[in-house]
Amino acid sequence: MRFRDQDEAMAELDRVLDKGLPVGMLTSVFYLPYLPQAFRFHFNAHNIVVFGRKGDEYLVSDPVMDGTTTIHRRALVRARFAKGTPDTNGRMYYPTAVLTKADLKAAAIKGLKRTARDMSNVPLPMFGVKGMPYLAKKLRQYETKLGERRAKLYLGNIIRMQEEIGTGGAGFRFMFAAFLQEAAGLLNKPELNEHAKEMTRIGDQWREFAFEAGRMCKGRPEPGSTYGTLADKLEAIGRAEKVLFKQLAKLPL
Amino acid sequence: MKKEEVPQDDANMLEGKFKVVKYALNENGEYVKVPSVGWEPENVALGQAWDVINERVEDARQQVLSGKLSPLAFHMEKNMMDEALLAKHMGLPARKVKRHLDPKEFEALDEATLLHYADALLTTVEELKRVPDAPSRAISSDQA
């Protein structure tokens, strides 16, 4: 649900919390004082869970943090009603029923199939495995099109999108490999362990890409490293992922 | 990536507030979660992004000092906003906010509008009317 009125949004939050239910909500990281300064951009698609309240201090579980924290009511109102892309509009959601027994096997299969399909088949050039050659092509032109300074900034942005908090490293690749490994045991499909290994190798290549890119941004490139060789790396990663996600999409599960 | 290869390059980006989780392999080849304080390429990329923002803040401060822009321009940059975003917070058309960046137009603003701007930019009316003497950095809200 979303709200036009701030007081109404907070009253509804308090009402649900009083019932003992945790509440998920959309916030802007810019207005979350408990986060380190360096991460506080106007990013309005950050979801947190508020799970209790002591007076005006709300108890928060934020997915980027390894522990819980608190936020004052005033700050929370700002974060819930930030303007931008999108306006957060006090959007919140909470569980009305909790399954006592979840079917993890079915969920794992569904998640795996869905990911493999989305990575392989979205018919747009910048999505899924097609995104890597698309980006590589742009990357090759960074220096000539943007000049050295802006080229470095753009490259730095790629590193950030790939590695910043929440991705688990290598742009979610290691997290996905961990998922494949867990699914192998859960579904009793040992071949998924091999796919996990391949995903890990690809993740390692993403890390090498970011390392080389970081040196470039710093103005101390590795010997022989250019925007061209970085683009080559990205293309190689794209080819490897194309093969892997095709295999996963075809798995009989 | 193996567990012991998870980088621990601390550039105080996290201010010691928490550690980030990286997924890495243990000695048996199983994935485990490993806390990390940072990685050099990330630190470099984040650092250069902030350098650009802070340059904009300082540039705005200089333009205010030389009388080209109103102090509103500085506080807007400090909050990492442009006219469009600030206008949304104010419930005003962007062209009005743009006009208020003119020192003369800003001078003529009434107290209620100034208060509204101060609230949107996480500052006080008094602060809103001036810029600091020394270079300043972009900040996020510290107001609780």
Q: What are the domain boundaries of chain B?
A: 3-38, 50-128
Are A231 and A165 part of one and the same domain? yes
Q: Answer yes or no: are the C-beta atoms of B57 and B77 closer than 8 Å.
A: yes
Q: How far is CA A198 from the centre of its chain?
A: 21
- How would residue B143 be classed by pLDDT, with cut points 50, 70 and 90? very low
Token pair recorded at residue B90: 């104010």
Residue A151 sits in which domain range? Answer: 104-250
* Residue A60 in domain: yes
Q: Is A206 on the interface with B (CB under 8 A)?
A: no
∠ Cα B77 B81 B87 (to 5°): 125
Q: Is B141 on the interface with A (CB under 8 A)?
A: yes
Q: Report whether pLDDT(B142) > 70.
A: no
ipTM summary value:
0.90
**Using one digit for the tens of pLDDT, what is the confidence trace for A209-249?**
999 999 999 999 999 999 999 999 999 999 999 999 999 99
Q: Answer yes or no: are the C-beta atoms of A132 and A238 closer than 8 Å.
A: yes
pLDDT on residue A123: 86
Q: Mean pLDDT throughout A181-192?
A: 96
Are A70 and A109 part of one and the same domain? no
Beta bridge partners of A25: A48, A92
Q: Mean pLDDT throughout B41-66?
A: 96
CB atoms under 10 Å from CB of B12, counted, come to 12
Q: Which CATH architecture describes the domain B50-128?
A: Orthogonal Bundle (1.10)
Q: Report whether pLDDT(B141) > 60.
A: no
pLDDT on residue B16: 92
Instruction: For an interface test with A, give the residue of B31, B53, B81 to mutate (most A CBs within 10 A).
Output: B31
Whether A181 sits inside 8 A of B31 (CB atoms) is: yes
- How would residue A98 be classed by pLDDT, with cut points 50, 70 and 90? confident
Last residue of a domain, one of A93, A113, A133: A93
Are A76 and A160 part of one and the same domain? no
Domain of residue A18, CATH code:
3.90.70.10
Burial of B127 (0-12, 13-18, 19+ CB in 10 A): middle
Contacts of B11 (CB under 8 A, 6+ apart): B38, B40, B43, B47
Token pair recorded at residue B130: 């001036």
What's at A171, amino acid-wise? Answer: G
Last residue of a domain, one of A70, A93, A116: A93
Q: Report whether pLDDT(A166) > 90.
A: no
* Residue A1 in domain: no
In degrees and rounded to multiples of 5, residue B51 shows phi and psi of: -55, -45
Q: Report whether pLDDT(A165) > 90.
A: no
Are A189 and A147 part of one and the same domain? yes
- How would residue B144 be classed by pLDDT, with cut points 50, 70 and 90? very low
| Mean pLDDT rounded to a whole number for chain B | 94
**What is the spatial distance between Cα A111 and Cα B133, in angstroms, rounded to a whole number?**
55
* Residue A108 in domain: yes
Whether A33 sits inside 8 A of B89 (CB atoms) is: no
pLDDT on residue B118: 97
pLDDT over 90, % of chain A = 90
Last residue of a domain, one of A43, A67, A93: A93
**Using one digit for the tens of pLDDT, what is the confidence trace for B80-114?**
999 999 999 999 999 999 999 999 999 999 999 99
pLDDT over 70, % of chain A = 100
* Residue A188 in domain: yes
**What is the spatial distance between Cα B15 and Cα B7, in angstroms, rounded to a whole number?**
17
Are A115 and A210 part of one and the same domain? yes
**What is the spatial distance between Cα A29 and Cα A60, in angstroms, rounded to a whole number?**
13
Q: Report whether pLDDT(B139) > 80.
A: no
- How would residue B140 be classed by pLDDT, with cut points 50, 70 and 90? low
Q: Mean pLDDT throughout B48-66?
A: 96
Q: Is B140 on the interface with A (CB under 8 A)?
A: yes
| Mean pLDDT rounded to a whole number for chain A | 95
CA distances from A236 to A136, A148, A187, A198 (A): 10, 25, 31, 14
- Please state the domain count of chain A: 2
Are A81 and A40 part of one and the same domain? yes
